[in-house]
Structure 1
């Protein structure tokens, strides 16, 4: 039993389990029968690359460091813009509802609810299309759609037209969240309020939407020039973490591999020349690279619904849904809470309440990597150098300590009408810090447990999360009016604790769950071509 995790005795190697040295995996603990010279390492020569890249120069794993970093920066900027456009109008919900002459609950549903449900739908459609034809066409199309929808929303003359523009925005937002970066998304969400609040108060919401449109035009140019296609059919790369063997070879015929031994794999000569020519920069600028997956559209569309059968993904969906949806709930109630007595905040002041959330998200981002990796490093050393994905889960304690406590404090401070720094700085800061750390642990756990199905896992996680958040928009404003902020947020704090407690059995039985999914081919009937 590695540190409380129940061991599995049915597989030689449970997918997800891997050797680890320092903060990266290495080959020091890999079976002694495997020729270590076959494995590809990082530039230091000490850390084995997981997953293993192929020999092709066009494999994104083989891109130069500057190309990868620039791609990451562009994605982070895009995630920030996407995170910002969703809650852009929330500081002004009360005055905007009056301007369009609709009740606050209906305005929330039409302005944010339509956006959220469109994100849920596109999380499946965009994921399917990205798998079929590659990610670059989706990035280009959704960025263009976001720019157009922002300019449309800026010029609407009716509430129905505004709801339509927000629906298009929601559909296009999912295109960038396929590779979610927590700081980009949460940072955009939290910075949108302070900036947009001032713009709306001293200008108009139309100026705010026009500004977002310009931001997405810039994003479109960045995508065109600095985001080449990252989907790639990887063949012949050694697989040392997702197979039930110590080492296998990706995309080889299954029967052929079953007849091969490790020694036969070692005997294969390593290629000294690239199997395909390197793509030129002009070729990478094409809207579509020619990438195509031959699996049927409907099989691809159904993949996310099958992945939820994994206990790991099911648990992650529960935690991810509550983590992010609570932030949505807070954002759509800020104007309702702080525009009213005793606070009587202006639109810009309501927007400024998100500054503490942004600061907490930055702190959480800076702390998440060292904290999660530090725990993993410590636990792996105590586990004879073997990494288990469940070692990511102890960090979920921070979600309990900060987020659950923050909600109880938030409800109580608002009920007692305490000075605004208490709910705004202390409580919202705690909530966002816990969410940032919690979502980081959840995301990395899913990636480590189901690397090959991570895209489908995040698609279903986002779909369910957004459908849940969409449901919140139907009643949350009226819920606060009828039951009061204390009862409302005490209930949310209790739900947060209940969801966290499921982490305990997930940690204990996680390895057996991963083994069960692999042994019974729970995902393969739909996820793999037979």
Structure 2
């Protein structure tokens, strides 16, 4: 049965054969920054939460642990919203296209996620810099986490629809992009926030994500079908 299976060469080169496609590379960069800054929040917030006032909130270790229930709950909410709203948008788009499925319609959920992402990051940065209440901190953290999950669900669905026979490679590259884009943020985020203020840091990060969104998502919705046709596997 070996002749019916993929060769070693094909298996090893499959990830590289997928990642250079223009409609995948752009959305990977966008997702890497969006999800990566979210990971940066989770690794940086513990510093601000544990630092004594006026620089931080002066939480105990138990209080810091409890505060991390915020992204857990927000992730569950974002996963549910992302899934069902995504399916709802796709059903509407299929009816409007007279039964034709267009993968780029998955990206409409990104337009919902980005305003939430901006609000969450700005509110979180203002909470740390202006010493707002714990409620404001939780809301900013929660809103940004919901936005990240809504966008991630849409990106995963879009990439899998573009490469339905390469779902393993798609999952690997998306996870690689999120990890590379995220865990390096903690190395510069705390010194930058200490020097310039958390509001500037989170505001700049939100601006970077918005810039990538404007460069990538509308272009894919306009030219994605042509790119998929030209660079299909």
Partner residue of 1:370 out of 74, 77, 84: 84
Aligned position for 1:211: none
Q: 1 or 2 for the larger relative contact order (CA 8 Å, sep ≥6)?
A: 2
Gapped runs of 5+ residues in structure 1?
Answer: 1-232, 236-250, 252-291, 524-530
Partner of 1:467: 180
Task: Give the Å deviation of 1:316.
Answer: 2.5
Q: Deviations over 1:333-368 (max 9, x none)?
A: 122111111410011111211222222222222222
Instruction: Please name the residue that 2:30 is paired with.
Output: 319
Match of 2:70 among 353, 356, 359: 356
- Write the mapping of 1:131-146 to structure 2, written as runs, cut at 5 A: none
- Is 1:336 the counterpart of 2:47? The answer is yes
Report what 2:101 is aligned to: 387
C-alpha distance 371-464 of structure 1, shift in aligned 2 (>3 A): closer
Look up the match of 1:526.
none
Alignment partner of 1:428 is 2:165:
no
* Correspondence 1:44-443 to 2 at 5 A: 293-296=6-9, 300-340=11-51, 341-342=53-54, 343-424=57-138, 426-443=139-156
Partner of 1:500: 213
Query: Is the 1:319–1:442 contact (alpha carbons within 8 Å) kept by the matching residues of 2?
Result: no
1:334/1:350 contact within 8 Å kept: no
Secondary structure at the aligned position of 2:125 is classed as helix
**Are the counterparts in 2 of residues 360 and 433 from structure 1 also a CA contact under 8 Å?**
yes
User: Could you say what secondary structure the match of 2:58 adopts?
Assistant: coil
Q: Does 1:455 align with 2:168?
A: yes
Is residue 194 of structure 2 the alignment partner of residue 481 of structure 1? yes
Matched, 1:446 2:165: no
User: What's the offset of the Cα at 1:496?
Assistant: 1.6
* CA distance in 2: counterparts of 1:472 and 1:303, whole angstroms: 29
Assess if the C-alpha contact under 8 Å between 1:368 and 1:440 holds in 2: yes
For residues 300 and 405 of structure 1, the distance between their equivalents in structure 2, rounded to whole angstroms, comes to 43
Shift of 1:392: 0.6
SS in 2 for 1:387: coil
> What root-mean-square deviation, in Å, do the aligned CA atoms of Structure 1 and Structure 2 show?
2.0
Distance 2:179 2:83 in 1: 26
Give the deviation of 1:504 after TM superposition: 0.7
Matched, 1:509 2:220: no
Structure showing greater Rg? 1
Question: Does structure 1 conserve the Cα–Cα contact (< 8 Å) formed by 2:32 and 2:177?
Answer: yes
The alignment partner of 2:197 has SS state of helix
* C-alpha displacement of 1:293: 4.9
Distance 1:345 1:477 in 2: 17
Question: Helix, strand or coil: the match of 1:386?
Answer: coil
User: What do residues 355-404 of structure 1 show as CA deviations (whole Å, max 9, x unaligned)?
Assistant: 22222222222222221111111111011111111111111112211112
Residues in 2 aligned to 1:451 and 1:514: alpha-carbon distance in whole angstroms = 12
How far residue 304 of structure 1 moved from its aligned partner, in angstroms, is 2.0
Q: Deviations over 1:186-214 (max 9, x none)?
A: xxxxxxxxxxxxxxxxxxxxxxxxxxxxx
Check conservation: 2:39, 2:183, Cα contact below 8 A: no
Q: Deviations over 1:293-343 (max 9, x none)?
A: 5323xx534432331211221122123212321221011112211111141
Q: TM-score, normalised by structure 2?
A: 0.90
What 5-or-longer segments of structure 2 have no aligned partner? none
Give the direction of change, closer, same or farther, for the CA distance of 1:469–1:364 in structure 2 (3 Å limit). closer
Query: 1 CA distance for matches of 2:196 and 2:42?
Result: 19
